[in-house]
Amino acid sequence: MIEMIQVNHQFAIGKKGKERVVPVLHDIDLHVKQGEIVAIVGRSGSGKSTLLNLMSGYIRPTSGTIRVADQEVTSLSEGEWANFRLAHLGFMFQSFQLIPSMTAFENAELPLVLKGIGVTQRKKRVMELLEQVGVAEYAGHYPGELSGGQQQRVSVARSLILNPPIVLADEPTGSLDSDNERQLLSLIQHLNQDRGTTFVLITHDEQVASIAHRTVSLKDGYLLNADKKEGIFAHEIH
Protein backbone atom coordinates (compact mmCIF):
# COMPACT_ATOMS: atom_id res chain seq x y z
CA MET A 1 0.00 0.00 0.00
CA ILE A 2 2.92 2.34 0.71
CA GLU A 3 6.35 2.05 -0.83
CA MET A 4 9.23 4.46 -0.26
CA ILE A 5 12.36 3.82 -2.30
CA GLN A 6 15.66 5.56 -1.51
CA VAL A 7 13.82 8.62 -0.17
CA ASN A 8 15.93 11.51 1.08
CA HIS A 9 14.72 14.81 2.47
CA GLN A 10 16.43 17.98 3.54
CA PHE A 11 15.34 21.46 4.57
CA ALA A 12 17.02 24.73 3.63
CA ILE A 13 17.03 27.32 6.40
CA GLY A 14 18.22 30.89 6.40
CA LYS A 15 18.01 33.76 3.92
CA LYS A 16 18.02 33.14 0.18
CA GLY A 17 21.55 32.84 -1.07
CA LYS A 18 22.79 32.04 2.42
CA GLU A 19 20.73 28.93 3.08
CA ARG A 20 22.03 26.14 5.23
CA VAL A 21 20.95 22.66 4.20
CA VAL A 22 19.73 20.44 7.04
CA PRO A 23 19.40 16.73 6.15
CA VAL A 24 16.42 15.08 7.85
CA LEU A 25 15.89 11.66 6.23
CA HIS A 26 18.46 9.44 4.57
CA ASP A 27 17.94 6.61 2.05
CA ILE A 28 14.57 5.57 3.40
CA ASP A 29 13.31 2.20 2.10
CA LEU A 30 9.93 1.37 3.61
CA HIS A 31 7.22 -1.02 2.42
CA VAL A 32 3.83 -1.16 4.15
CA LYS A 33 1.59 -4.02 3.05
CA GLN A 34 -2.18 -3.88 2.68
CA GLY A 35 -3.89 -4.64 6.00
CA GLU A 36 -0.79 -4.00 8.14
CA ILE A 37 -0.58 -1.88 11.25
CA VAL A 38 2.93 -0.41 11.22
CA ALA A 39 4.30 1.71 14.06
CA ILE A 40 7.15 4.15 13.44
CA VAL A 41 8.99 5.09 16.61
CA GLY A 42 11.95 7.25 17.52
CA ARG A 43 13.13 10.17 19.60
CA SER A 44 11.82 13.68 19.03
CA GLY A 45 13.61 15.15 16.01
CA SER A 46 14.32 11.75 14.46
CA GLY A 47 12.18 12.58 11.40
CA LYS A 48 8.94 10.72 12.21
CA SER A 49 6.55 13.54 11.33
CA THR A 50 8.56 14.42 8.21
CA LEU A 51 8.19 10.81 7.09
CA LEU A 52 4.42 10.96 7.59
CA ASN A 53 4.19 14.27 5.73
CA LEU A 54 6.05 12.73 2.80
CA MET A 55 3.60 9.81 2.72
CA SER A 56 0.67 12.23 2.67
CA GLY A 57 2.12 14.60 0.07
CA TYR A 58 2.23 17.67 2.31
CA ILE A 59 5.93 17.90 1.53
CA ARG A 60 7.95 16.51 -1.37
CA PRO A 61 11.09 14.38 -1.05
CA THR A 62 14.40 15.88 -2.09
CA SER A 63 15.01 12.63 -3.96
CA GLY A 64 13.59 9.13 -4.20
CA THR A 65 10.26 7.59 -5.14
CA ILE A 66 7.02 7.18 -3.18
CA ARG A 67 4.10 4.98 -4.21
CA VAL A 68 0.79 4.96 -2.33
CA ALA A 69 -2.09 2.60 -3.22
CA ASP A 70 -0.27 1.57 -6.43
CA GLN A 71 0.05 5.20 -7.53
CA GLU A 72 3.42 6.87 -8.05
CA VAL A 73 2.76 10.09 -6.15
CA THR A 74 6.13 11.81 -6.11
CA SER A 75 5.33 14.05 -9.07
CA LEU A 76 1.64 14.75 -8.44
CA SER A 77 0.54 18.39 -8.56
CA GLU A 78 -0.99 20.00 -5.47
CA GLY A 79 -4.49 19.59 -6.93
CA GLU A 80 -3.86 15.96 -7.84
CA TRP A 81 -2.52 15.29 -4.36
CA ALA A 82 -5.61 16.87 -2.76
CA ASN A 83 -7.91 14.59 -4.78
CA PHE A 84 -5.70 11.58 -4.08
CA ARG A 85 -5.74 12.21 -0.32
CA LEU A 86 -9.52 12.51 -0.33
CA ALA A 87 -9.87 9.17 -2.10
CA HIS A 88 -7.19 7.11 -0.38
CA LEU A 89 -6.04 8.54 2.95
CA GLY A 90 -7.54 9.17 6.37
CA PHE A 91 -5.74 11.11 9.09
CA MET A 92 -5.69 10.97 12.88
CA PHE A 93 -3.99 13.77 14.79
CA GLN A 94 -2.90 14.27 18.39
CA SER A 95 -4.62 17.66 18.44
CA PHE A 96 -7.85 16.30 16.85
CA GLN A 97 -8.01 19.34 14.48
CA LEU A 98 -11.77 19.68 14.73
CA ILE A 99 -13.36 22.93 13.51
CA PRO A 100 -14.70 24.71 16.64
CA SER A 101 -17.65 26.33 14.84
CA MET A 102 -18.93 22.99 13.53
CA THR A 103 -20.84 20.33 15.48
CA ALA A 104 -19.52 16.81 15.85
CA PHE A 105 -21.84 15.78 13.02
CA GLU A 106 -20.61 18.58 10.74
CA ASN A 107 -16.96 17.85 11.47
CA ALA A 108 -17.39 14.18 10.60
CA GLU A 109 -19.48 15.09 7.56
CA LEU A 110 -16.97 17.52 6.02
CA PRO A 111 -15.07 15.04 3.77
CA LEU A 112 -18.40 13.85 2.34
CA VAL A 113 -19.34 17.46 1.53
CA LEU A 114 -15.99 17.98 -0.20
CA LYS A 115 -16.58 14.76 -2.12
CA GLY A 116 -20.01 15.99 -3.31
CA ILE A 117 -22.04 13.24 -1.59
CA GLY A 118 -25.79 13.95 -1.34
CA VAL A 119 -27.44 15.11 1.89
CA THR A 120 -29.46 11.94 2.59
CA GLN A 121 -26.49 9.66 2.08
CA ARG A 122 -24.27 11.96 4.16
CA LYS A 123 -26.63 11.90 7.13
CA LYS A 124 -26.95 8.12 7.07
CA ARG A 125 -23.20 7.57 6.78
CA VAL A 126 -22.25 10.10 9.47
CA MET A 127 -24.71 8.79 12.04
CA GLU A 128 -23.69 5.19 11.39
CA LEU A 129 -20.04 6.04 11.96
CA LEU A 130 -20.63 8.24 15.01
CA GLU A 131 -22.60 5.33 16.45
CA GLN A 132 -19.76 2.96 15.65
CA VAL A 133 -17.20 5.09 17.48
CA GLY A 134 -19.57 5.70 20.39
CA VAL A 135 -20.45 9.40 20.14
CA ALA A 136 -23.75 9.44 18.20
CA GLU A 137 -25.53 11.06 21.15
CA TYR A 138 -23.16 14.03 20.88
CA ALA A 139 -23.75 14.65 17.16
CA GLY A 140 -25.19 18.12 17.82
CA HIS A 141 -22.45 19.18 20.26
CA TYR A 142 -19.55 21.47 19.43
CA PRO A 143 -15.93 20.39 20.11
CA GLY A 144 -15.73 22.73 23.11
CA GLU A 145 -18.61 20.83 24.70
CA LEU A 146 -16.88 17.45 24.36
CA SER A 147 -14.24 15.71 26.44
CA GLY A 148 -10.84 14.94 24.92
CA GLY A 149 -11.82 11.32 24.35
CA GLN A 150 -15.06 12.32 22.67
CA GLN A 151 -13.27 14.81 20.43
CA GLN A 152 -10.80 12.12 19.40
CA ARG A 153 -13.66 9.77 18.49
CA VAL A 154 -15.22 12.47 16.31
CA SER A 155 -11.81 12.96 14.69
CA VAL A 156 -11.59 9.22 14.09
CA ALA A 157 -15.07 9.23 12.51
CA ARG A 158 -14.01 12.03 10.18
CA SER A 159 -10.84 10.15 9.21
CA LEU A 160 -12.87 7.05 8.30
CA ILE A 161 -15.94 8.63 6.72
CA LEU A 162 -14.79 7.97 3.14
CA ASN A 163 -13.66 4.41 3.92
CA PRO A 164 -9.99 5.14 3.16
CA PRO A 165 -7.81 2.08 2.60
CA ILE A 166 -4.96 3.79 4.51
CA VAL A 167 -5.02 5.80 7.75
CA LEU A 168 -1.99 7.83 8.82
CA ALA A 169 -1.92 8.62 12.54
CA ASP A 170 0.45 11.14 14.14
CA GLU A 171 0.66 10.52 17.91
CA PRO A 172 -3.07 9.62 17.94
CA THR A 173 -3.24 9.02 21.70
CA GLY A 174 -0.96 11.85 22.82
CA SER A 175 -3.81 13.92 24.26
CA LEU A 176 -5.76 11.03 25.82
CA ASP A 177 -5.83 9.51 29.28
CA SER A 178 -5.03 5.82 29.65
CA ASP A 179 -8.66 4.67 29.51
CA ASN A 180 -9.42 6.59 26.31
CA GLU A 181 -6.11 5.42 24.85
CA ARG A 182 -7.09 1.79 25.38
CA GLN A 183 -10.47 2.39 23.76
CA LEU A 184 -8.94 4.08 20.71
CA LEU A 185 -6.34 1.35 20.24
CA SER A 186 -9.09 -1.26 20.49
CA LEU A 187 -11.04 0.62 17.81
CA ILE A 188 -7.99 0.73 15.51
CA GLN A 189 -7.53 -3.02 15.89
CA HIS A 190 -11.23 -3.61 15.23
CA LEU A 191 -11.16 -1.52 12.06
CA ASN A 192 -8.02 -3.25 10.88
CA GLN A 193 -9.49 -6.70 11.42
CA ASP A 194 -13.00 -6.00 10.10
CA ARG A 195 -12.23 -3.64 7.21
CA GLY A 196 -8.63 -4.49 6.43
CA THR A 197 -7.69 -0.82 6.91
CA THR A 198 -3.94 -0.21 6.76
CA PHE A 199 -2.58 1.96 9.59
CA VAL A 200 0.73 3.78 9.92
CA LEU A 201 1.15 5.01 13.49
CA ILE A 202 3.76 7.61 14.42
CA THR A 203 4.31 7.27 18.15
CA HIS A 204 6.68 7.44 21.08
CA ASP A 205 4.21 5.44 23.20
CA GLU A 206 5.06 1.78 23.77
CA GLN A 207 1.39 0.96 24.36
CA VAL A 208 0.48 2.26 20.90
CA ALA A 209 3.33 0.36 19.25
CA SER A 210 2.24 -2.83 21.01
CA ILE A 211 -0.81 -3.20 18.71
CA ALA A 212 1.30 -3.00 15.54
CA HIS A 213 2.05 -6.01 13.40
CA ARG A 214 5.46 -4.49 12.77
CA THR A 215 7.51 -1.70 14.28
CA VAL A 216 10.28 0.28 12.61
CA SER A 217 12.56 2.78 14.29
CA LEU A 218 13.93 6.09 13.06
CA LYS A 219 17.28 7.18 14.44
CA ASP A 220 19.04 10.32 13.21
CA GLY A 221 17.00 10.17 10.01
CA TYR A 222 17.84 6.55 9.23
CA LEU A 223 15.21 3.81 9.26
CA LEU A 224 15.98 0.72 11.30
CA ASN A 225 13.69 -2.23 10.65
CA ALA A 226 12.79 -4.25 13.71
CA ASP A 227 10.09 -6.32 15.32
CA LYS A 228 8.14 -4.81 18.20
CA LYS A 229 9.37 -7.56 20.56
CA GLU A 230 13.01 -6.59 20.18
CA GLY A 231 13.02 -3.80 22.71
CA ILE A 232 13.03 -0.79 20.41
CA PHE A 233 11.75 1.42 23.17
CA ALA A 234 14.48 0.39 25.56
CA HIS A 235 17.17 1.20 22.99
CA GLU A 236 15.74 4.06 20.93
CA ILE A 237 13.35 6.04 23.10
CA HIS A 238 14.53 6.06 26.70
CA–CA gap between residue 37 and residue 35 (Å, rounded): 7
Write the CATH number for 99: 3.40.50.300
In contact, 208 and 180? CB cutoff 8 Å: no
Write down the pLDDT at residue 103.
Answer: 97
Amino acid identity of residue 3, one-letter, is E
Closest CA to 223 of 67, 55, 51, 62: 51
- What digits encode the pLDDT tens for the residues 71-93? 899 989 999 998 899 889 998 87
Alpha-carbon span 39 to 36, nearest angstrom: 10
- Indicate whether 19 belongs to any domain: no
Q: Is residue 67 part of a domain?
A: no
How many structural domains are present in the chain?
1
Q: What is the rounded distance in angstroms from the CA atom of residue 82 to the CA atom of residue 103?
A: 24
**Integer Cα distance of 115 and 175 in angstroms:** 29
| Rounded CA separation 82/57 (Å) | 9
Is 41 a member of any domain? yes
Give me the residues of the chain with pLDDT under 50, please: 229-238
* Domain-embedded: residue 227: yes
In terms of DSSP H, where are the helices of the chain? 48-55, 78-88, 104-115, 119-133, 148-160, 178-195, 206-209, 232
Nearest to 184 by CA among 163, 164, 160, 166: 160
pLDDT digits (tens, 9 = 90+) for 54-71: 999 999 999 999 999 888
User: Which structural domain, as residue segments, surrounds residue 120?
Assistant: 35-58+76-237
Within a domain: residue 133?
yes
**What is the reported pLDDT for 226?**
53
Q: Would you say 96 and 143 are in contact if contact means Cβ atoms under 8 Å apart?
A: yes
Asked if residue 27 belongs to a domain, the reply is no
Give how far Cα 98 sits from Cα of 153, 159, 230, Å.
11, 11, 37
